[in-house]
Structure 1
Amino acid sequence: MTAARVPQIFSPHRRRARWRRSIAEQRREGAADFVFRSMAEELEERLAFMNFRPGTALLSGDPTGLARTALAESAETVRTVDPLEHDEEKAIDGTFDLIASLGAIDTVNDVPGALIHLRNALSPGGIAMVSFVGAGSLANLRRALLAAEPDRPAARMHPMIDVQAGSALMQRAGFGRQVADSYPLRVRYGALDRLVEDLRSQALTNVLAAAPPPLSRAALQRAREAFLETADADGRVTETFEIVILTGWKS
């Protein structure tokens, strides 16, 4: 019996290009980093709450470098994997007390396999903490993109993982015990273009294997107008980033 082929939803090439662009953007003063800053702060707070000080830690994702700074305060040794070279769907070299993945796991084609590799690379009692932007995020952007192409909308945003699905994935990966939760991060925007700029700066644009065609000038204008339909009295739209955090322990 042959193993079932993993559906190729995401493009590894586009994914690497997205990381490359984000890393370059983060060198620019004023580049948006609020999603990864929040993830890094949450990682630091949760480790402090658990009073967990790992001897060895592995960090994946995090184009801003903020999580590495946070981990350096608690871990004796921190190893960072290069998002341009690291393949989450392959085995990890080494054994770690903590593995933190920020904004990376949700756009691999074989999420269960990637989580299994994380578990296998943990020492007994080790912890994996996986953060990403999850389902329920960017509702206004989704609405605007649908309005841009009312007759035949293209797939312009990739599928996202919610808390319930994340919990099931951790169980499937064989973690001894696991916790899945989320929190909202709300940001106000006066224009659709600024939101798109922030997504590009933080490696949050879509990396679907079937890349959609560019929006026409007319469609883009419809999207801009639709985005502002829910603006408040100040002319700003509140967009929500739902940050999902999966935490698993190796028995």
Structure 2
Amino acid sequence: MERLFDDRLIAANRRRALSAMTEGADFLLEIAAGEIADRLSLVERRFEDAVELHGATGLTARAALATGKIDRLERIEVAPDLTSGAESVREAAWETVPLEPQSVNLVLSPLSLHLTNDTPGVLVQIRRALKPDGLFLAAIPGAGTLAELRDVLLAAEAELYGGASPRVIPFADIRDIGGLLQRTGFALPVIDEESYTVRYDSIFPLMRDLKAMGMTNPLLGRSKKPVNRAFFMRAAELYAERYSDPDGRIRATFSIIYVSGWAAHESQQKPLKPGSAKMRLADALDPNRKPTE
């Protein structure tokens, strides 16, 4: 399996971001936490044992607990710095789910699965950790996220240096995520996507926010060559030319895929077996068909 991401750099980025977090810089985590909590609040059951997997700040854990649907919740984090001062937190490697099979009722994954080298393997670990009829809820940045930034960085680098290297990570398409859930054994998957547009005065406060969120480039194939100020100034010019509003502010897109899936249980709805339908589709669609008693 080809590895895309540097696990140690991911941990270092998150550690640095948490230690220097500025007010409002975690707005994406706050959005994801609110959406996950809203979805959890609609589920008509309680969850005795829940886990927040690599949530960084614990925002999702706190929002989920506030729904009143959870009895106990444990956080799992990649770096010791991210666990200090918090209760019920366990340290684990980035792509390891340190849970016994069928040991928890709920797993929450806010904005971390997009950085896994073996996403199917992590999803299998999560599904195995769930008790029958356990629930998995996740928020995953999707295709379209930071598309504007990707475009102008590539354009500026090609123009100034005659080539380009990956400076914004790839993000999965919603259809790919849906296929992964099915292939890794989740039942009754539900997937939807929301896009958020955030406006900035220029490219520089956007890049500061990304650094503050621990979202700087962790690709193993990233260029190690330093770039000069002219590169960023040209990228800023291109961003303003291509993606600014009439008031001069630029737009940054963040697309988040929200996912739910269940560990299989005999009580769950199942599709009918082939040939077991009691009515032909053509009859059901016939506008002249009289209703039966």
**Shared topology, TM-score over 0.5?**
yes
User: What's 1:70 paired with?
Assistant: 63
- Please, which of 117, 122, 125 is the counterpart of residue 109 of structure 1? 117
Give the 4+ runs in structure 1 shifted more than 6 A: none
- Please, which of 247, 256, 260 is the counterpart of residue 247 of structure 1? 260
What TM-score comes out, normalization by structure 1 length?
0.92
Structure 2 portions without partners, runs of 5+: 80-90, 265-293
Alpha-carbon offset, residue 86 of structure 1: 2.3
Alpha-carbon offset, residue 205 of structure 1: 2.1
Using CA pairs under 8 Å that are at least 6 residues apart, name the structure with larger relative contact order, 1 or 2. Answer: 1
- Please, which of 56, 75, 78 is the counterpart of residue 80 of structure 1? 75
The C-alpha deviation readout for 1:80-100, integer Å capped at 9, x for no partner, is: 012324224334324111100
User: What's 1:14 paired with?
Assistant: 9
Q: 1:110 to 1:226 in 2, by over 3 A?
A: same
Residue identity in the other structure for 1:75:
I
- Answering whether residue 226 of structure 2 is matched by residue 218 of structure 1, we say no
User: What's 2:36 paired with?
Assistant: 43
User: What's 1:92 paired with?
Assistant: 98
Q: RMSD of aligned C-alpha atoms?
A: 1.5
Structure 1 portions without partners, runs of 5+: 1-5
- Please, which of 107, 126, 138 is the counterpart of residue 130 of structure 1? 138
User: What's 2:48 paired with?
Assistant: 55
Residue identity in the other structure for 1:226:
L
Residues of 1 paired with 2:203 and 2:40: CA distance? 36
CA contact (8 A) 2:36 2:138 kept: no
Residues of 2 paired with 1:89 and 1:187: CA distance? 30
CA contact (8 A) 1:231 1:238 kept: yes
Residues of 2 paired with 1:142 and 1:191: CA distance? 15
Alignment: residue pair count:
244
- Max radius of gyration: which structure? 2
User: What's 2:127 paired with?
Assistant: 119
- Answering whether residue 178 of structure 2 is matched by residue 159 of structure 1, we say no
Residues of 2 paired with 1:7 and 1:144: CA distance? 27
